[in-house]
Amino acid sequence: MVRREKANYLIQSVAHALDVLEQFFGEQDELGVTELSKRLKLHKNNVFRLLATLEARGYIEQNKTNENYRLGIRCLHLGCGYVKQMGLVRQARPILVELARKCRESSFVAVARREGVVALEAAEPKDRVVRITSPVGELLPLHCTAAGKAHLAFEAEEQLNAELAQDLQRYTERTIVSRSALIEQLRAAAHAGYAIDAGEFLEDVASIATPIRDYTRSVVASLAVAGPAYRISSERIKAELAPLVVEAGRELSEKLGYYP
């Protein structure tokens, strides 16, 4: 029996419905039937039927004021289900809570996604009035955040060159925009076991992160602690935060099957 490629089994109507949902992944929160019809190159009647079906199931909802459409609550439920099913998040949650308690700063775990890293889960300290809010779901740049650098520092040279943009975007006066200077810093981070962002992405925020490995010994995520820059000095990082973050990273890696 000859196996057919999975592409041969695609159901066009389902593909079109997913195309509709993916139009809302960008910066625009709401879209109308006409705009969607233009983007998807589908007849308005077809787009309306797709929207009506998705709306009936809760994946799309309509703004009654302007009659435009936006993502529905079922999309949130679906996303939450995906996150909960990831072993990384399940194992990371108690470690993040404990790390936030010990450091008295916010902690989060992030994974590499295309041109940046995305925070999947976070925990905040309970005894700090001023603290960094959860960055869950945000795309953070690779070259100027500790979470991103923790990924880059442990990449093979050819993979690093492929992932690192030729022109590094400047976010603050502290952002490193020289590739050679950044690579030198990444080598130091690989030697130390952790990376630092000293106000390079957000001027008043500093962070420290360590890589997370799984049973394949590959870097699958980064574990970070972030707080106001005035609280996270280089002295505090070396004396207090780095040991706590590295130890928490080792614990999470071991729970994912990593054995050094």
pLDDT in tens, 17-49: 999 998 987 667 899 999 999 999 999 999 999
Q: What confidence score (pLDDT) does residue 112 get?
A: 85
pLDDT reading at 3 higher than 60: no
Quote the mean pLDDT of the chain.
86
Residue of 222, 228, 211 whose CA lies nearest to 140: 222
Give domain 6-77's CATH architecture: Orthogonal Bundle (1.10)
What's the CA gap between 149 and 185, in Å, rounded?
A: 9
Q: Give the residue-averaged pLDDT of 238-250.
A: 94
What's the CA gap between 234 and 96, in Å, rounded?
A: 22
Report helix angle 44-56 to 12-22, nearest 10.
80
One fold for 6-77 and 86-255:
no
Q: Say which DSSP state 153 is in.
A: T
* CATH for 86-255, options being 3.30.450.40, 2.102.10.10, 3.40.720.10, 3.90.1010.10: 3.30.450.40
Percentage of the chain exceeding pLDDT 70? 88
Report helix angle 12-22 to 33-40, nearest 10.
120
Confidence grade of residue 123 (pLDDT, cut at 50, 70, 90) = confident
What's the CA gap between 164 and 29, in Å, rounded?
A: 30
**Domain range annotation of the chain:** 6-77, 86-255
Q: What confidence score (pLDDT) does residue 252 get?
A: 93
Residue 118 or residue 160, greater confidence: 118
pTM over 0.85: no
Q: How far is CA 133 from CA 56, 106, 119, 122, 129, in A?
A: 34, 7, 12, 9, 11
Is 148 exposed, middle or buried (CB count within 10 Å of its CB: 0-12, 13-18, 19+)?
A: buried
What's the CA gap between 19 and 96, in Å, rounded?
A: 36
The SS3 of residue 253 is helix
